[in-house]
Structure 1
């Protein structure tokens, strides 16, 4: 174990816990600042950071100390490293850490699964007996899933292309045009910028097809962000028709435009800053509307373990209000008889079906079907989608 790498990992962890920095961004900045780190170096830092953040409370129990150096010591012991003399920390020594592993299973769920007490209580309240399985699944490491951009290539061609860079990938049998990389494999930035494949979790790839998009239709993606689902819709429409990708953040739409160019989807996708004027302009225009609403993101904890330490109960309450506003305001852009898909990357019913029921009580829509994506059942990120149809006006 190299001292510089160990110290760098601890610095990132400290920034995540104490300064509420986003893990992915902090790790990317560290890699950019240290271009001489080799693959093994980056893997060591990344694994240390992700696993310490993921297992914070369990590691604190093992080390009998909550400081970052002690948490790192416990994680490295789990990883099979001998702790070097130069790593100074308070708390249990390596042998005690190993011995306390047997006691961890007897600790409260919030400790052994490493989540805040309030979040454990909320999950138990909303999901009941299924919370145990969902929480355990959300603590597993996430594989990398890719969506093949059929505007540029096919799954077989994409597999061969990735193999030429020594990146084994396999088709996911239950999802068309979806690939998964071997455990521990990632997609280099140079290949991410090619446009043949997009990194997109398998659960996320289940959302766009629910719209059943048809060529030459007008589809509005109201919370498009950087455009993952807009690009998917463009491929499903075979590049024919119009997708209006909307968001409140101009930088995200600019990134979407760059991605659309790489994906050969610029003729299909146009971007629009969403505001009351834009909503009024597109009133009753769209054949289909996607509302991939802002949410707690609790379905993505396996990829974003830092999220459970950053969000607060008030955050989730605020998100519920935003979700209801999105349904009420953005649904007006759909034609009568058109299809609306409301989606989140949360597994909480209060962000999902409860919002849909509230909306249906106050709007001329009917529920066609639901598509909850369970991390425990699928191994994917947690998602939810409801398919609604707008009733014709009398």
Structure 2
């Protein structure tokens, strides 16, 4: 297979911005596609695959080509993809033949090189998860499937499957996630369908968290770290639009996006609140259910955000743990006695998950009902954690 020079250079430029300037991969791709509307579906696919895989496999590609330069990493990835390296692609590193020959040597390299992660992250994962880290980090390097959540305020899962099929989008139900659909491999959801209101793009693992909250119609529910509201909208559907959901966040832009999405989804029971220093006291003991979907390392989403592992640093992880502990000290004030608290993260690390919950339990004001680690290795979803507690 042959490559187009403009596309190859564009892919290399985007990957370089991710590595050197710590840009967000998704944002850089979206900006490039918007600036170049003439690129067709195949062109965009080539660029996206190149960039995602170069970022995902940065260290192992570096071993194959014996270079850390982005141009060389791209060359190694294109060899893996079956492309013939053109003469105009200049880089410092091993030849295509040598790259191919060295692939068998990867198995003997340290896990951090094989799985292409920073040494410190490999050491942390191993220390926290032990032998289970092997399977988890391997699963987190797989390509992410695209999952949809059916908005049951507007349709059913069976009807959504039929509707999407008529639109040329093949989907299948997801076992264990009653509102989830998975897109057929290699398929994308056309943009107009994303704004229809009957479906939302949401990982199946994320959808399991709302089920743990188990909100009932007529209740008052607080989503204390709602962001743009993926879980808040799911909670609204589970409540059949009866009751009140407060979507809270420190980011006003995300709350504006939540308001737009709620209107599109017909989630009339959702209202937003910008978090203030007195929020926990202002909403003291009003909630029947409280979801703290806490800021976290995001390690459970590496298959979807491979650039995250190059941006994340130990100091940032420590700051996140501090924030998690603060939220678990303050936000439970908003929950009624007998109310249900769900603490959730998109991390697979116990230090962000059960260990934080244990600190809360040590205060004696909560009882643990259940907790669950949503394992990428076991389920194929993004990695999540959820704990269900009842306030005494």
Report the 3-state secondary structure (helix = DSSP H, G, I; strand = E; otherwise coil) of the residue aligned with 1:176. strand
TM-superposed deviation, 1:188 = 2.3
Report the 3-state secondary structure (helix = DSSP H, G, I; strand = E; otherwise coil) of the residue aligned with 1:340. strand
2:51 match: 49
2:390 match: 389
Distance 1:108 1:40 in 2: 35
TM-superposed deviation, 1:189 = 2.2
Report the 3-state secondary structure (helix = DSSP H, G, I; strand = E; otherwise coil) of the residue aligned with 2:108. coil
2:313 match: 312
1:374 match: 375
Structure 1 unmatched runs, 5+: none
TM-superposed deviation, 1:164 = 2.1
Distance 2:361 2:174 in 1: 35
Distance 1:135 1:199 in 2: 24
2:263 match: 261
Distance 1:60 1:241 in 2: 54
2:187 match: 185
Matched, 1:174 2:176: yes
TM-superposed deviation, 1:366 = 0.9
> Under a length normalisation based on structure 1, what TM-score does the superposition of the two structures give?
0.98
1:116 match: 118
TM-superposed deviation, 1:362 = 2.1
2:335 match: 334
Distance 2:33 2:355 in 1: 42
Structure 2 unmatched runs, 5+: none
TM-superposed deviation, 1:138 = 0.2
TM-superposed deviation, 1:10 = 0.4
Distance 1:71 1:48 in 2: 10
Distance 2:58 2:17 in 1: 14
| Superposition map of 1:192-341 within 5 A | 192-265=194-267, 267-341=268-342
Deviation string 1:183-206 (CA, Å, 9 cap, x unpaired) is 111212221111110111010000
Matched, 1:156 2:153: no
Distance 2:160 2:45 in 1: 25
| Superposition map of 1:37-186 within 5 A | 37-186=39-188
TM-superposed deviation, 1:278 = 2.5
Distance 1:225 1:140 in 2: 26
Distance 1:313 1:195 in 2: 39
Deviation string 1:48-99 (CA, Å, 9 cap, x unpaired) is 0000000000000000111000000000000000001110001001000000
Deviation string 1:221-244 (CA, Å, 9 cap, x unpaired) is 000000000000000001111000
Distance 2:65 2:175 in 1: 43
Report the 3-state secondary structure (helix = DSSP H, G, I; strand = E; otherwise coil) of the residue aligned with 1:194. coil
1:16 match: 18
Deviation string 1:335-393 (CA, Å, 9 cap, x unpaired) is 000000000000000000000001111250111100110100000100000000000xx
RMSD (CA atoms): 0.7
Distance 1:141 1:109 in 2: 19
Distance 2:322 2:122 in 1: 22
TM-superposed deviation, 1:149 = 0.2
Report the 3-state secondary structure (helix = DSSP H, G, I; strand = E; otherwise coil) of the residue aligned with 2:342. strand
**Number of matched pairs:** 390
Distance 2:152 2:249 in 1: 25
